Amino acid sequence: MSGPFYSLLPTLRPMKTIGILGGMSSESSIEYERIINKAVRERLGGVHSADLLIRSYDFAEIESLQEAGNWDAAGQLLAGDAARLEEAGADVIVLATNTMHKVARQIEDAIRIPFLHIADATADAVKAEGIEAIALLGTRYTMEQDFYRGRLTAHGLEVIVPGAGDRTFINDVIFNELVQGRIVEESKQRYLQIIERLHERGAEGVIAGCTEIELLVTPDDVDLPYFPTARIHALAAVEFALE
């Protein structure tokens, strides 16, 4: 494209374009967009909002791949769409979910632009508070597998996860309630009890390592330093876009 209008575009763009892989679930994607747009407006003022390109999935399709353990197919799907977001003009890719960072390497290999890893942004926030031992809540994949825990320990953090029964409960609430937009007070109280047990085991803070958990438990509910990963990740994307 050429012409006088397009020659002005670089001077009219106050920010880079953020490409979002979302819909995993739609509840968390809505939070990402809300946080990003609010932060951009606060930083730039006026009627500014974020420059976004979004690929939002039917989460039922993604969840079925998770349940079947078909991570390679899931990775190929997300990697292909990340490349398409890059082709459409994205300057950075953000994967709006913790669990699907299991396929982060496939996404990174498919693109030339930066990929902002949620665990890196979270680890930076935890270390900035001087915390060394951190509790991790999330889906069973996030709590039990090394793709996420290992990323945190590589940053020098000690990661403490709930016991087996508590992990099952946390996972079931995520998939049976939170991703469906259901907020149940009894589930919240059980989560808070789990966090207290983790504190007794030495956790100095807690990571809400599933973006939907932030819909159930807020920083005001917890006496420990609380790290809501969706917010941390979304704000990291804003920093990149406006730097």
* Same domain as 132, residue 192: yes
Collapse the DSSP code of 218 into the 3-class scheme (helix H, G, I; strand E, B; otherwise coil) and give the result. Answer: coil
* Same domain as 63, residue 140: no
Domain count for the chain, please give it.
Answer: 2
* Same domain as 103, residue 15: yes
CA atoms lying within 13 Å on the CB side of residue 115: 21
Share of the chain above pLDDT 70, in %: 95
* Same domain as 237, residue 206: no
On whether the CB atoms of residues 110 and 83 are closer than 8 A, the answer is yes
> Does the model's pTM come out above 0.85?
yes
* Same domain as 169, residue 132: yes
- CATH number, residue 144: 3.40.50.1860
DSSP state of 2: -
Distance of CA 78 to the CA centre of its chain: 15
User: Does the structure show a pLDDT above 80 at 9?
Assistant: no
* Same domain as 132, residue 109: no
Instruction: Indicate which residues carry an active-site annotation.
Output: 97, 210
Tokens representing residue 176 in the block = 């049976």
* Same domain as 90, residue 136: no
* Same domain as 95, residue 126: no
pLDDT at 5: 40
Burial track 50-72 (b if 16+ CB lie within 10 A, e otherwise): bbbbbbbbebeebbebbeeeebe
* Same domain as 124, residue 113: no
Please state, in angstroms and rounded to a whole number, the distance separating the CA atoms of residues 198 and 206: 9
| Pick from 220, 241, 217, 240: nearest CA to 229 | 217
Give per-residue pLDDT as tens, 134-188: 999 999 999 999 999 999 999 999 999 999 999 999 999 999 999 898 999 999 9
Give per-residue pLDDT as tens, 55-104: 999 999 999 999 999 999 999 999 999 999 999 999 999 999 999 999 99
Please report, for residues 37, 79, 161, 169, 188, the alpha-carbon distance to residue 96 in angstroms, rounded to integers and kept in the order given. 15, 14, 22, 23, 23
* Same domain as 154, residue 93: no
Which range marks the domain in which residue 27 is found?
Answer: 4-117+232-242
Residue 139's identity, in one-letter code, is: T
With vertex at residue 72, the alpha carbon angle to CA 68 and CA 76, rounded to the nearest 5 degrees, is: 125
Would you list the DSSP string of 3-27?
SHHHHHHHHH--SPPEEEEE-TTHH
pLDDT at 122: 97
* Same domain as 81, residue 168: no
Burial track 113-146 (b if 16+ CB lie within 10 A, e otherwise): bebbbbbbbbbebbeeeebebbbbbbbbbbbeee
Tokens representing residue 218 in the block = 């807020």
* Same domain as 192, residue 87: no
Collapse the DSSP code of 237 into the 3-class scheme (helix H, G, I; strand E, B; otherwise coil) and give the result. Answer: helix
